[in-house]
């Protein structure tokens, strides 16, 4: 069996996807590639490489006889604005390297796009699959470019590349980053730790969100789908649940009554205001049977329970 390579293996998605793939295929079948962030106490195959260095990725593909790549490396919305040049090099240049290797070695590729591909000219309610893509962040620009690259490589070379537009992903395993939708994780961590939380988005800001377990399920399901059922080669809309920052506070408050949140929108509010409120993902549901499992209540309970156990075990 050819091995699976996961780039960005120790980020928010990768840290959940790698164990899922290991469980399905075996620890010795998954190569976890990181760069600056390498997981501690990780059991499995680890490789360290810079996604901009095509030769180093090539050597990994050859060394492990890789057949599939889940390409997750990316600089996100807030970080991308700090250094647009590097963001382009990593997000677009890195993807181009992966796609070219995909053609050379006949690989099957997964690459995630994002709701950041949308912009203020996109319909914000029930955002359709085919719509205007005019993002206002470099991260979003790289996602639109990436979608077009994936489509081009499929049309030009017949490359089997598959993609979804992730909504905001919520996970308890990794601490919050400074990303726009990460207010959810920051509020959760502060609540469980008994700290006051300052939310960087306004209370009425509604965004499409998804529990990481659903994101992993969607990713694996899409890659398992027979090729003839994949009708879109840019990126599928993907949705689960939409809620406001205030609704998220209230959902956590059912489990942590002492939660205290103050709202002080910063520069991330402008980014959030350019993204959809709700998503039409009917194409994904029709083409490959996508169904989400977690609603707001179920997601919140599982996250609070798991994070409380995690932080309690660390304190012992």
Active site residues: 139
CA distance 63 to 58: 9
Element (H, E) at 242: strand 241-244
> What are the residue ranges of helices labelled H in the chain?
14-25, 54-63, 77-82, 84-88, 94-105, 138-157, 183-192, 212-224, 245-253, 268-272, 282-288, 296-315
Contact 29, 44 (CB under 8 A): no
* Cα angle for residues 93, 98, 104 (degrees, 5° grid): 125
- Sheet of 241-244: strand order equals 168-170, 206-211, 241-244
Contact 273, 120 (CB under 8 A): yes
Neighbouring residues of 152: CB distance < 8 A, sequence distance ≥ 6? none
Give me the half-sphere count of Cα atoms (radius 13 Å) on the Cβ side of residue 289: 8
CA distance 164 to 230: 11
CA distance 168 to 280: 15
CA distance 267 to 178: 11
CA distance 83 to 65: 35
């Amino acid at each position: 069996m050819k091995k699976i390579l996961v780039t960005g293996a120790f980020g928010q998605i990768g840290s959940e996807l790698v164990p899922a793939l290991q469980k399905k295929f075996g620890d010795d079948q998954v190569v976890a590639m990181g760069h600056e962030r390498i997981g501690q106490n990780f059991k499995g195959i680890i490789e360290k490489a810079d996604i901009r260095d095509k030769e180093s990725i090539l050597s990994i593909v050859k060394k492990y006889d890789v057949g599939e790549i889940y390409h997750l490396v990316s600089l996100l919305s807030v970080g991308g604005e700090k250094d647009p040049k590097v963001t382009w090099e990593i997000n677009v240049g890195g993807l181009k390297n992966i796609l070219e290797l995909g053609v050379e070695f006949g690989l099957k590729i997964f690459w995630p796009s994002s709701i950041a591909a949308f912009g203020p000219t996109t319909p914000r309610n029930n955002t359709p699959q085919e719509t205007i893509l005019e993002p206002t962040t470099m991260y979003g620009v790289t996602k639109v470019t990436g979608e077009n690259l994936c489509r081009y490589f499929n049309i030009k070379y017949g490359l089997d590349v598959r993609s979804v537009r992730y909504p905001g992903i919520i996970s308890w395993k990794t601490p919050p980053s400074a990303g726009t939708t990460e207010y959810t994780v920051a509020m959760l961590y502060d609540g469980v730790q008994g700290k006051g939380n300052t939310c960087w988005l306004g209370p009425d800001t509604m965004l499409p969100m998804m529990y990481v377990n659903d994101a992993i399920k969607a990713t694996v399901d899409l890659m398992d789908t027979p090729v003839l059922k994949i009708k879109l080669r840019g990126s599928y809309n993907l949705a689960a649940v939409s809620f406001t920052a205030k609704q998220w506070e209230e959902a956590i408050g059912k489990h942590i009554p002492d939660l205290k949140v103050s709202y002080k929108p910063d520069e991330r509010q402008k980014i959030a205001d350019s993204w959809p409120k709700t998503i039409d993902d009917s194409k994904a549901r029709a083409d490959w049977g996508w169904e989400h499992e977690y609603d707001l209540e179920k997601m919140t309970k599982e996250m609070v329970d798991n994070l409380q156990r995690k932080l309690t075990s660390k304190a012992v």
